[in-house]
Amino acid sequence: MRKGPFSEQVIVVVPDDDTPPSAPSAPAVSTRLGMIHVAWDGMTATGTAMPTDLDRVNVWMADPLAPGSAQVVDSMRGAETVVVGGQPYNADRELWLTAVDRSGNESASSGRVTIATKPLVDTDLIGKILSGANIIAGTVNAADAVIANTVTGNLIQANAINTGHLQANAVTTPVLAAGAVTAGKLESVLTLSTRIVAGNPNAARVELNSTGIRAYNANGVDTVNLSTNGTFTLRSAATGARVQLDNTGFKAFNVAGQQTVDIGSTGNVSLIGQISSGTSGRRIEVSPLSATDPEIRFYSDDGLNYVSLVSPSGRTLNDPYLDVKTPNIEGRESILHMEAGTAYFANRGARGEDSAGIRVDRSGTAQLMGKTGWISIGYDAFAIVGTDKVEIFANGGLWVNGVKIAPL
């Protein structure tokens, strides 16, 4: 089975994702225990599922009476509820959501809702003993109001205090006694209702939630994604020059975002650009950066001179050819030229002229060339060219310098 020539190379540039996700549905908000609870159903504003490349949904809050006060106070990974604390009683707060995909594209805002935090206690205590969600310093003396050791773990009913009753960041490491939390006091299986975050919630961080483990860079772009569905992505950046390893294989991109390396999980490999077996001395280079045509170079020990395989440009798909050339030393080089039906080997001079060589062309003619003449053997003729031109034809006689001397 004979194979035809290779087609021309086609480079496909895969553009970076610049399409933002759909706007999420409006949040459902409520207030209890002095906190604002923000819930999201995980759907778009039109009631459809969010795209698969969704990274997070940002929770925004603003004071309607203070322009420019909008800020991200938390984020979600799916349908869940987050708690926002530290807000003054009876003061309106406007909340809304935006969706961000893994390429950093952010959606339009969801519908906005307004709510005010309700007081926990009788309003007569507000401003006198309580300020916001805190006890005013000096109004309640712990030594007078609380008997030492009266509130202990033995007096608190099991499961009486849950996360809904704790303000965000209320329990920190300095509040816990050394050795207070041990493996024996934790359930054998810990269930996450939201997520665990190490770092800035909206910048460089590591997250653990019900969908897996993710790591983010300083710009909030995920670089590590180990999903519970069995897929994974490890990448150095989201756009531009980067490398990426995922369940489909290994990829590399240049500064323009063009994929140059693709080692697929199927075993297929695609490489674009220079490939070298070494950095100096004897080596092989494929597609050298300094080459203008497809080329393979075989360098000698000095790392400067080389023999090359070149497929020069300027030929059509139906008429390709290949040159094998030696280095040009002292004004001379050797070349082996091959194309469909024609091949020759020649010793070439400084100006590119063939001073000696052998040529076989597609007409069936073979030529032996020297510096001062050549011998040609054709399908029906034989010629010697030097000082004089002598031709012998199978059916036409003997000719010298274009003059017929005698028939054969």
**Cβ neighbour number for residue 283 with a 10 Å cutoff:** 15
Q: How confident is the model at residue 360 (pLDDT cuts 50, 70, 90)?
A: confident
Buried b (16+ CB within 10 A) or exposed e, 353-391: ebeebebeeeeeeebebeeeebebebeeeebebeeeeeb
Higher pLDDT, 374 or 45: 45
Q: Provide mean pLDDT across the span 369-380.
A: 70
Q: Is the pLDDT of residue 190 over 60?
A: no
Q: To the nearest whole number, what is the mean pLDDT of the chain?
A: 77
Q: What is the pLDDT of residue 6?
A: 77
Q: Is the pLDDT of residue 241 over 70?
A: yes
Q: Which residue is it, tokens 């053997």?
A: 377
Q: What is the pLDDT of residue 105?
A: 94
Give the least confident one: 213-217, 218-222, 291-295, 351-355: 351-355
DSSP E strands in 178-320: the ranges are: 195-199, 205-209, 212-216, 222-227, 232-235, 242-246, 249-253, 259-264, 269-271, 275-276, 284-286, 295-299, 306-310
pTM of the model: 0.39
Give the least confident one: 94-108, 297-311, 341-355: 341-355
Give the least confident one: 26-35, 113-122, 230-239: 113-122
Structure tokens at 357: 């060589």
Q: How confident is the model at residue 120 (pLDDT cuts 50, 70, 90)?
A: low
Q: Provide mean pLDDT across the span 193-197.
A: 71
